[in-house]
């Protein structure tokens, strides 16, 4: 599935969100190196926890490939912080409770069976110049892109 608003080859939409450490993260300030931008439903989602654990386990390889990792959900900051601590996540997790960035990237899940305002699972690779080089938006909670292929894609940047 494609993003409704962001396509490969286009500039990554800018944003500023609070991280679980209480500090804002601004996409423009992160330019200069590659970025793996992950949207997830929330730490309550088993498939999301599993995917974030895989990212945690490959985090050093992602860093060695020159990439920073940002993960975004609509969870309130306190809930996101609890998830980071509980699952020992070494990368930056951001809270987007108003879904402003989730909507900017076109990954809102309009079909959540419980009617929650959440993101579809999605992954974008943004190059050092701020251009989207890869995009995958999942159609259901288990629809995730292989992190091994993400590592290969990062090698080509």
Q: Where are the domains of the chain?
A: 31-155
* Distance between CA atoms of residues 21 and 4, nearest Å: 30
pLDDT of residue 114: 82
pLDDT of residue 30: 85
Phi, psi of 15 (to 5 degrees): -165, 165
The residues with which 67 forms a beta bridge, in sequence order, are 34
pTM: 0.93
pLDDT tens-place string over residues 106-156? 999 988 778 889 999 999 999 999 999 999 999 888 888 888 888 888 888
pLDDT of residue 4: 62
Please say whether the dihedral angle defined by the alpha carbons of residues 61, 64, 67 and 72, taken in this order, is positive or negative: positive
Whether CATH 3.40.30.10 fits 31-155: yes
Q: Where are the alpha helices (DSSP H) in 5-156?
A: 46-57, 59-64, 77-87, 100-104, 147-155
Question: What percent of the chain stands above pLDDT 90?
Answer: 74
């Amino acid at each position: 599935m494609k993003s409704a608003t962001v396509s490969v080859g286009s500039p990554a939409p800018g944003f500023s969100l609070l991280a679980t450490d209480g500090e804002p993260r601004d996409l423009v300030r992160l330019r200069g190196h590659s970025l793996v931008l992950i949207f997830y439903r929330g730490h309550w989602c088993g498939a999301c926890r599993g995917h974030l654990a895989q990212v945690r386990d490959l985090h050093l390889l992602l860093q060695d490939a020159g990439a920073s990792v940002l993960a975004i959900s609509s969870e309130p900051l306190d809930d996101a912080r609890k998830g980071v601590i509980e699952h020992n996540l070494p990368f930056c997790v951001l809270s987007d409770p108003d879904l402003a960035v989730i909507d900017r990237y076109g990954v809102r899940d309009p079909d959540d069976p419980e009617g929650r305002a959440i993101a579809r699972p999605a992954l974008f690779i943004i190059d050092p110049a701020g251009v989207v080089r890869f995009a995958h938006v999942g159609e259901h909670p288990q629809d995730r892109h292989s992190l091994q292929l993400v590592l290969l894609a990062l090698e080509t940047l």
